[in-house]
Amino acid sequence: MSPRLAPLTLAALGLIGATAQAQTTPLSFYGTVDLGIGKLASQPPGPPNAPVTSVTGVHNGGLQTSYFGMRGTEDLGDGLKAKFQLESFIRADTGASGRFNPPGPPQDPFWSRSAWVGLEGGFGELRLGNNTNPAWLANVFTSAMGGNSLFSPSFRQQYNGSTRGYMAQDTGLPNSVSYSSPNLAGTVVTVNLQAAEGSGSGNNVNASVVHRSGPLLLAAAGARVQHVPVPDPAGTLDEQFLMLGASYDWKVVKLFAQYTDFKDKLGNLKIKTPHIGLTAPLGTGQFQLAWAEGKTTGAASSKRTTTSAGYVHPLSRRTQLYLMVANDELPVGTAKSYLTGIRHTF
């Protein structure tokens, strides 16, 4: 090779190598489409004495709220990675984006499920943007029905939305910084700070500690919430809660338990919510059973008892049929729901 051509050849090879590395950076498109037919009933958002309403027809998300997303990772060397994730909810029954039909809660931004960029390394993982609520994830890990927003008793009672949970915060935390520690002997600590950004209120803090050891999972989570993030109406809050949870898998049955202590200092309300549940193999599928009872004291006294059951039958690794039923006894009446449907992941 000519000495004069060598630098040009090396530069060309370097460019080709960089292009190949960029092309092989892992990037994936994925999601879930979940639709069922049946009746959904609950107390809608609004006045405390709003009556129970029900809708019979095709509904979105009987097991999991439909969504799609993309994520990617770039290896920066020396154990450091750059990561991003963008996810959008979709109402597959109508084709609209977001989770709620008008006149429900304020409509979701397009990338409302996740929208963040971050770095991962030996120090753990740091993310900036719209991050998943770590306290909600601890709830999912210790609930027999996981993140089922329509039928999980702990989800229905605690997280706000179409089923009127009491917590102001959502499953996603926009305008936030999230840090997760490295896995230390099965334990991961996650802390999220959600900036007030000129709302006139304080910052929100959410945190969780999750420990996995064989069939055992232990979780503790808590939050201090001082403002309502967009797109919800602006307002000042002072909410605090602590959740303790666990699950244990005996193979023939997996047991779940939670206890949440919630305080709304401005509203002078306290709500204590125990939750228990189980999953068990049934044929080739899985049977689910869950119960929660929230007792409110302070400025008002009430009790809400929710019992749900379901069966999930796999047609393949990515496709399941399901049947879900729930009996939700609210202070204003009883909401009975049932849904049968199909979930497909891609």
What are the tens digits of pLDDT across the range 216-245?
999 999 999 998 766 555 567 899 999 999
Residues 6+ apart with CB under 8 A from 274: 257, 258, 259, 292, 293
Residue with tokens 């005996």: 250
Note the pLDDT of residue 15: 38
Note the pLDDT of residue 68: 97
- Give the pLDDT mean for 35-49: 90
Instruction: Considering only the C-alpha atoms of the chain, give the largest distance between any 2 of them, rounded to a whole number of Å.
Output: 88
Residues 6+ apart with CB under 8 A from 345: 30, 31, 32, 318, 319
Note the pLDDT of residue 35: 98
Cα(330)–Cα(42) distance, rounded to whole angstroms?
8
Kindly tell me if the per-residue pLDDT of 331 is higher than 70. Answer: yes
* Residues 87/98, Cβ–Cβ less than 8 Å: no
The band of 163, judged by pLDDT with boundaries at 50, 70 and 90, is confident
Question: Exposed/middle/buried for 105, CB within 10 Å: 0-12, 13-18, 19+?
Answer: buried
* Residues 315/291, Cβ–Cβ less than 8 Å: no
CA distances from 250 to 247, 285, 291 (A): 10, 16, 20
| Among the ranges given (66-75, 104-113, 116-125), the one the predictor scored with the smallest mean pLDDT | 104-113
Note the pLDDT of residue 6: 43
Which domains are seen in the chain, by residue range? 33-345 (2.40.160.10)
Report which listed range, 155-169, 198-212, 237-251, is most confident.
Answer: 237-251
Classify the C-alpha dihedral 47-53-57-60 as positive or negative: positive
The band of 196, judged by pLDDT with boundaries at 50, 70 and 90, is confident
* Residues 188/198, Cβ–Cβ less than 8 Å: no
**pLDDT tens figures, 50-82:** 899 999 999 999 999 999 999 999 999 999 999
Kindly tell me if the per-residue pLDDT of 128 is higher than 70. Answer: yes
Say how many C-beta atoms besides its own lie within 10 A of residue 21's C-beta. Answer: 11
Note the pLDDT of residue 88: 97
| Among the ranges given (152-161, 237-246, 259-268), the one the predictor scored with the smallest mean pLDDT | 152-161
Q: Which residues pair with 286 in a beta bridge?
A: 281, 312
**Which H or E run includes 13?**
helix 6-23
- Give the pLDDT mean for 107-131: 96
Cα(145)–Cα(125) distance, rounded to whole angstroms?
28
Note the pLDDT of residue 162: 75
Note the pLDDT of residue 233: 57
- Give the pLDDT mean for 253-258: 98
Strand residues in 250-284 grouped as ranges (E) = 254-264, 269-282
Q: Which residues pair with 93 in a beta bridge?
A: none
